[in-house]
Structure 1
Amino acid sequence: MSVLIVIPARYASTRYPGKPLVKLRGAGGQARTLIERSWRAACAVAGADRVVVATDDDRIKTAAEGFGAEVVMTSDTCVNGTERCAEAHEALGGGYEIVVNLQGDAPLTPHWFVEDLVAGLRRDPEAGIATPVLRCNGEMLSGFKEDRLNGRVGGTTAVFSAEGAALYFSKEVVPFTGRDFAPDEATPVFHHVGVYAYRPGALAAYPAWPVGPLERNEGLEQLRFMENGRRVLCVEVESRGRQFWELNNPEDVSRLESMMAQMGLD
């Protein structure tokens, strides 16, 4: 089953303009752009047949080609990464059986997250899209709550059925927990990892659907699938001791660099 990984990247981010070209310093002191680190993470995924960067910006195109990435130029009308992935897949002529959206702000995504995600979608023929979720420990949950208390948009949380069907995604911390947890204690809150695997039919249908109220209010693209009755599969993944975070705000640069230093990632 052929797998295409698309890394959507745009320069004109509302919260953090120019984010893909922000440099992050690794454990050995090597500074690489966010888009390069995300591309390297994608290239480490076993079973991927092709990896491309999809952008509408010549600055990102030049930078990506400079470190050896294949680039697909897409329109500036794409409102999110899923729409950009759909356009990139079409521009490449289609034909892939699974398209993975590895968003360009998640350079610490372990390769097994994506591998487990693809395997989960293959096992569930009723799902048109799959996405990974990671159970929070007390330390991670505290970070989520601190971000919200300080008015920052941190990670996204997910709730899902016993069979893995998504029930809701939110930038708030859901479900509500009425107590504190020890740093290493497992919690009932799941961090949604911003990676998606689509079947081509669901991906191609997505841009034609209007933006619904849930997607508009939360700013979460995956809610459009749910608002249009499509099954979204949540695949639980294991951290295996790896720390994980996306770059959502300028304050996250130091957080990511600290994580890379602790894990010895250059």
Structure 2
Amino acid sequence: MSVLIIIPARFASTRYPGKPLVELTGADGTKRSLIERSWRAAMAVKGADKVVVATDDDRIRRAAESFGAEVVMTSESCANGTERCAQAYANLRADHDIVVNLQGDAPLTPPWFVEALIDGLKNTPAADVATPVLRCDGETLNSLLNDRKHGRVGGTTAVFGADNNALYFSKEVIPFVAQNFDAQDPTPVFHHVGVYAYRPAALMAYPTWDAGPLEGLEGLEQLRFLERARPMMCVEVEARGAKFWELNNPEDVPLIEKMLRDIGQA
């Protein structure tokens, strides 16, 4: 089955304008933009036949082309990454079995997260959409709770049923837990990793649906599938000692740079 990875990137982020071009310093002092680090993460995925950056901004296009990425231009009217991926897929006139949306704000996404997601969709013919979830340890859970305490939106959390289909995603920390956890303790909270794998038919249907109230309130594109009663399979992945965090706010830059140093990534 052929796999296309699309990295949607826009300049006009509400929370962090210009985010894809923000430079992050690696373990050896090398500075690379967020979009380049996300592209490098995508290029490390085994089994991907093609990787493209999808954007509506010439500054991002020029930056991406400068480090060798293939770029497809999309409209400014795309409301989110999934709509941008759908338009990019149509503009490419692509013909792939699986389309992966690797969002451009997750440069620490380990390749095995995406590989597990692709395998999950390949091995579950009934599934049209899949997304990875990572069980939080105490340190990650405390970071999420600290963001909310200080009025910041950090990562997204997910809850899912016995069939692994998502019940809900939220920028609040769900489910509620009263217990305190040590840094390395496993917790019942799952961090949603911002990657999606779609069958092309599901991806192309998405922009034909109006956004529902939950998507509007949470600002989470994946809720459009749930509000349309379209199941989304959650694939649990393992950190294997890797650090993972998304760049959502300027305050995340030093945190991600520390993680790059911790894992020795240039």
TM-score range, shorter chain: over 0.9
Structure 2 equivalent of residue 140 of structure 1: 140
Question: 2:236 matched to 1:244?
Answer: no
C-alpha distance in 1 between matches for 2:23 and 2:142? 27
Instruction: Name the SS of the counterpart of 1:265 in structure 2.
Output: coil
Secondary structure class of the residue paired with 1:154 = coil
Per-residue deviation, 1:73: 0.2
Q: Could you say which residue in structure 2 is the equivalent of 1:79?
A: 79
Question: Take 2:105 and 2:242, find their aligned partners in 1: how far apart are those partners?
Answer: 17
Give me the whole-angstrom Cα distance separating, in 1, the residues matched to 2:136 and 2:26. 24
Aligned to 1:26: 26
CA contact (8 A) 1:42 1:51 kept: yes
Q: How does 1:1-266 map to 2 (within 5 A)?
A: 1-266=1-266
**How far did 1:152 drift?**
0.3
Q: How many aligned residue pairs are there?
A: 266
Cα distance in 1 for residues equivalent to 2:62 and 2:191: 33
> d(CA) in 2 for partners of 1:231 and 1:123?
16
Q: Which amino acid aligns with 2:232?
A: V
One-letter amino acid of the structure 2 residue matched with residue 15 of structure 1 = R
Q: Note the C-alpha offset of 1:124.
A: 1.6
Distance 2:182 2:32 in 1: 35
Q: CA deviation at 1:94?
A: 2.5
- Residue 189 of structure 2 aligns to a residue in which SS? strand
Whole-angstrom CA distance in 2 between matches of 1:181 and 1:115: 30
SS in 2 for 1:71: strand
* Partner Cα separation in structure 2 for residue 57 and residue 94 of structure 1: 22
Tell me the TM-score normalised to structure 1 length.
0.99
Residues 156 and 191 in structure 1, CA contact (< 8 A), matched pair in contact too: yes
Q: Which amino acid aligns with 2:12?
A: A
Task: Give the CA deviation at 1:229.
Answer: 1.3
Distance in structure 1 (CA, Å) of the matches to 2:60 and 2:77: 17
> Secondary structure of the equivalent of 1:84?
helix
Structure 2: distance between partners of 1:36 and 1:113:
19
Kept in 2, the 8 Å contact 1:155–1:192? The answer is: yes
CA contact (8 A) 1:133 1:193 kept: yes
Q: Which runs of 5+ in 1 are unaligned?
A: none
Distance 2:33 2:44 in 1: 17
Structure 2: 5+ residue runs without aligned partners?
A: none
Deviations 1:143-162 (A, max 9, x none): 00000000000000000011
Cα offset, 1:50, TM superposition: 0.2
Q: Where in structure 1 do 4 or more consecutive aligned residues deviate above 2 Å? A: none
Query: Which amino acid is 2:78 matched to?
Result: C
| Deviation for aligned residue 1:265 | 0.6
Q: Write the deviation string for residues 90-115 of structure 1: whole angstroms up to 9, x where unpaired.
A: 11113111000000000000000000
Secondary structure class of the residue paired with 2:4: strand
Describe the SS at the equivalent of 1:85. helix
Paired-residue identity, %: 68
Tell me if the contact between 1:35 and 1:64 (Cα under 8 Å) persists in the aligned partners: yes
SS of equivalent residue, structure 1 residue 13: coil
